[in-house]
Structure 1
Amino acid sequence: MNEESENLQEIPAETRESSVASNSASTKQDKTDLLAKTKLLRDTLQLLLEKSEEQKKVCEQLAHENRYLQDYVENLMSSGNVLDK
């Protein structure tokens, strides 16, 4: 037997089982924490995507309004000969 095996045999079975249970609980807690962080990141990403889409719609609406106003001003200027006065 090697030295490591001898050291394991010296540790009482209760301590080894307790250590395994503790590691298992720690692993479950790590998984739970990781899932919570993943959910938070996913929700944040979804929120950013929704806000981005909303801002894109607002931008498109403003661009449409700008085109309308440009056409309106051009029509006023051409019909009134504002520059000739």
Structure 2
Amino acid sequence: MAETSNGVSDAQDLNGKIQTTGETNSDRNIEISNRTRLLRDTLELLVDRSDEQRKQCDQLSHENRYLQDYIENLMSQGNVLDK
């Protein structure tokens, strides 16, 4: 086997690089996994909040229609527009 300038064989040097790369990839994979989990959880919270807001909007729209009908009834019964 050939030796590098500091006396370490090429195989040992290559093995060290592979282990270092493996640790880096492992750390990187963990970081990506954590980031993905965070983004997924954030997205889930946003979807839940969006659903809540949609329900509230639907409820307010329903109440608004009810109040409009109620006001129209009152105005037609009291002939408010005729006075």
Matched, 1:64 2:62: yes
Structure 1: unaligned runs, 5 residues or longer: 1-7
- Structure with higher RCO (Cα < 8 A, 6+ apart): 2
Identical residues among aligned pairs (%): 49
Question: What is the RMSD of the two structures over their aligned residues, measured on CA atoms?
Answer: 1.5
Which residue does 1:26 correspond to in 2? Answer: 24
Q: TM-score, normalised by structure 2?
A: 0.85
Matched, 1:75 2:73: yes
Partner of residue 35 from structure 1, selected from 26, 33, 37: 33
Aligned to 1:4: none
Q: Distance in 1 between matches of 2:42 and 2:17?
A: 37
Q: TM-score, length-normalised on structure 1?
A: 0.83
- Following superposition, the deviation at residue 62 of structure 1 comes to 0.3
How many residues are aligned here?
78
Structure 2 residue runs without a partner (length 5+):
none
Q: Which amino acid aligns with 2:60?
A: L
